Structure 1
Amino acid sequence: MPLPWVRTLVASAASLLLLGTPAVATAAPDRDGVRTSVHTAGRVQDAGDVLKYSWPGVYFEGRVRGTGVGIVLDDPAADYDVQVDGTTVATLVTPGRTTHWVTGLRDGVHTVRLVKRNDTPWSTSAFGGFVAAPGGAVLSRPAARARQIEFVGDSLTAGYGNLSDSRDCDGEQLRRTTNADVSYGALTARRLKADYQLNAYSGLGMVRNYGGGSPEVNYRTFYDRALLNVPGDVWQNPGTWRPQLVVVYLGTNDFSTPVGPGEPWTDESLAAAYRGAYSGFLEKLRTRYGPRTTLLAVGTGPFAGHVEQVVRDRTAAGDRRVRHWSLDATGLDHTGCHWHYSARDHRLLADRLTAFITDLPIRW
């Protein structure tokens, strides 16, 4: 659903909410490089002692032996969940520069997962790794999953306000109730036992943003970046990201508000530009990931027909691995912030998308 453009650019106030055990003395991460001890599928910039990133839903997974684990962060804007052995033990709200400790664990081997909950495109986040409590050790990183799915989208894919109990949210409520980890994409990937990227940017469209805002940019301006607030940044794929499936869900912001005075569009020219850009974007994905990757274009509402047309045209041109998914909105309550999907809606969509993907001839 649409959102006011300005609300996508409001930074969080710095505060820290620790739902786990109190922090203890900080410790330094492994100086051999963070990436050697953590698994991540997200778009990160490897700076050696820290991994930098901007997209929502980026997650880091590790293994530690001992009775405690520290999470080294430098982030004044985003919120995080900390999960140990599959259970969320802490929510960190704009933690700033800190090492958050989870202590009192049974003495043994534990899995730990840190996940960025919300979209903060104006800011760069930095993760400094996991550290073990005294007497323990950080173990080798978990293995990557064989399946990989990339999700491309806007606020609906980012999980915008999905935990809210009201559609009427101010900026603070929006930030605290957005959780990409329970979005339809993250849920679908976990059900399919896949690693995933959520490359979602609230308020942006394929060619036109919500309400015609910020016409000098659109989603495609930012797609190639790891650090969204760094003009010209280009994510360097380490060679490990080769998704068998890319799901593209863009169009809500292009068409959800009428073309206003002063915008360089008519309804007809907007539709034509959207179809042309969409086809070009799919070609970019095809060039990047090769002929074995399935491209799944999502259509619904006023842009469903345009997406179907793009898929038909590409299929006729010989692209054998492009598909269309008509998103079924039946039963969705849209009770998230500003009429976005609720957590229940995301679960329903994950059910439907998982079933659809399962029937596709994907070469996992």
Structure 2
Amino acid sequence: MPWLRMLAASAVSTVLIGASAVTTAAAPDHRGVRDSVHTAGRVKAAGDVLQYSWPGVYFEGRVRGTGVGVVLDDPAADYDVQVDGATVATLVTPGRTTHWVRGLREGVHTVRLVKRNDTPWSTSSFGGFVAAPGGAVLARPAARSRQIEFIGDSLTVGYGNLSTSRDCDSEQLRRTTNADVSYGALTARGLDADYQINAYSGQGMVRNYNGGSPEVNYRTFYDRALLNVPGDVWHNPGTWRPGLVVVHLGTNDFSTPVNPGEPWTEESLAAAYRSAYSGFLEKLRKRYGAATTILAVGTGPFAGHVEHVVRERNSAGDRRVRTWPLDTTGLDHAGCHWHYSARDHRLLADRLTAFLADLPIRW
């Protein structure tokens, strides 16, 4: 497979796809955003908004009436707005706005907002859902009993998965990346699980794509809620206790040859990867406890290293670390820059779901 490219960051103008007006005259429900929406993502309260950075973060609410407003401040990311299970609008870099969905039948409606792409250089802000005049924001939906955390790079983000060609410029890449139809999101929704997609394009366990930005790697950012804030730490409110964590890191470490000037040989890179991977699994085990199943994804040139680390963990007594040998048979890699297409993500979700059926996961 040709080398995978890192996600480029640049600003674009605001575009609205979908039939609905956009205004700026609205305020969040008086009870506060956190009390009126359900989210499983890594968010931080900042006054009357929730801030976040990771892709695939979603917010769910319930509204009575004929319209619902979505309060946002985001100059970089794209969103889907879903009402009663159907996507009614796609917001492209909406900026600071309230997007209104009007003309709903009178009654109670579920509304879901989901961040489609990864914008690690920017902080996103959500100010809640608001009801049209005469309506009301109702109690937030209940959290799901199952929780899954997906850890990875662009392949887990859903990088360019809606693209109709492999050759993409930065604009096409941003518009065609949709974490909501990634294999992780599809798997979780099929299992009726809440989920986090803590994935960062271009990052590796120890080495990033083509040796770029050697001063950081995925592990530098994992603990953060706000990826562009050095030293930021997400504080688990106590509600995030995943029964399953899926780790898919290694493509960027090994997809390109070591360049002159990099501090690696093939052997030292492999050794550093295995050591860091083992330490990362230990960190996850300490964070989530002995009951959580950790699934380490192995494929391509790093599959053997992943299997080696998992065998060591199993030999040390940690039997809830397993390997998923990701089967790429039949994938078309038709997304941007040879990434998984939306079709590929559906196939992988089906394969992962079937694999999970045989695991003794403690949901």
| 1:160 paired residue number | 159
The SS at the match of 1:149 is: strand
| 1:220 paired residue number | 219
Q: How does 1:149-228 map to 2 (within 5 A)?
A: 149-228=148-227
CA distance in structure 2 between the partners assigned to 1:66 and 1:32 by the alignment: 18
| 2:337 paired residue number | 338
| 1:291 paired residue number | 290
| 1:129 paired residue number | 128
What TM-score does the superposition give when structure 2 sets the normalisation length?
Answer: 0.98
Give ranges in structure 1 of 5+ residues lacking alignment.
Answer: none
| 1:92 paired residue number | 91
Quote how far apart the aligned CAs of 1:25 are: 6.0
CA distance in structure 1 between the partners assigned to 2:312 and 2:19 by the alignment: 53
Contact kept in structure 1, 2:251 and 2:302, CA below 8 Å: yes
| 2:29 paired residue number | 30
| 1:140 paired residue number | 139
Contact kept in structure 1, 2:292 and 2:320, CA below 8 Å: yes
- Whichever residue aligns with residue 310 of structure 1, its letter is V
More divergent stretch after superposition (29-38 vs 301-310): 29-38
CA distance in structure 1 between the partners assigned to 2:47 and 2:9 by the alignment: 30
CA distance in structure 2 between the partners assigned to 1:193 and 1:48 by the alignment: 31
CA distance in structure 1 between the partners assigned to 2:23 and 2:228 by the alignment: 33
1:360 aligns with 2:359: yes
More divergent stretch after superposition (17-26 vs 54-63): 17-26
Give ranges in structure 2 of 5+ residues lacking alignment.
Answer: none
1:3 aligns with 2:9: no
The SS at the match of 1:17 is: strand
Contact kept in structure 1, 2:42 and 2:52, CA below 8 Å: yes
CA distance in structure 2 between the partners assigned to 1:142 and 1:48 by the alignment: 22
Quote how far apart the aligned CAs of 1:4 are: 2.7
Quote how far apart the aligned CAs of 1:21 are: 1.6
Contact kept in structure 2, 1:11 and 1:122, CA below 8 Å: no
| 2:18 paired residue number | 19
Q: How does 1:294-333 map to 2 (within 5 A)?
A: 294-333=293-332
The one-character-per-residue Cα deviations of 1:254-311 (angstroms, maximum 9, x if unpaired) are 0000001000000000000000000000000000000000000000000000000000
Quote how far apart the aligned CAs of 1:334 are: 0.2
| 1:265 paired residue number | 264
- Whichever residue aligns with residue 268 of structure 1, its letter is E
Contact kept in structure 1, 2:73 and 2:94, CA below 8 Å: yes
1:256–1:28 Cα change, 3 Å = same
Quote how far apart the aligned CAs of 1:125 are: 0.1
Contact kept in structure 2, 1:208 and 1:253, CA below 8 Å: yes
- Whichever residue aligns with residue 284 of structure 2, its letter is L
What TM-score does the superposition give when structure 1 sets the normalisation length?
Answer: 0.98
CA distance in structure 1 between the partners assigned to 2:19 and 2:37 by the alignment: 21
Contact kept in structure 2, 1:14 and 1:77, CA below 8 Å: no
Quote how far apart the aligned CAs of 1:14 are: 2.8
- Whichever residue aligns with residue 66 of structure 1, its letter is G
CA distance in structure 1 between the partners assigned to 2:31 and 2:69 by the alignment: 17
| 1:243 paired residue number | 242
- Whichever residue aligns with residue 254 of structure 1, its letter is D
> What is the CA RMSD across the aligned residues, in angstroms?
0.9
Contact kept in structure 1, 2:22 and 2:97, CA below 8 Å: no
Contact kept in structure 1, 2:61 and 2:129, CA below 8 Å: yes
1:50 aligns with 2:49: yes
The one-character-per-residue Cα deviations of 1:85-122 (angstroms, maximum 9, x if unpaired) are 00000000000000000000000000000000000000
Quote how far apart the aligned CAs of 1:24 are: 4.9
The SS at the match of 1:233 is: coil
The SS at the match of 1:195 is: strand
| 2:279 paired residue number | 280
CA distance in structure 2 between the partners assigned to 1:69 and 1:130 by the alignment: 7
The SS at the match of 1:174 is: helix
Q: How many equivalent residue pairs?
A: 362
- Whichever residue aligns with residue 342 of structure 1, its letter is S
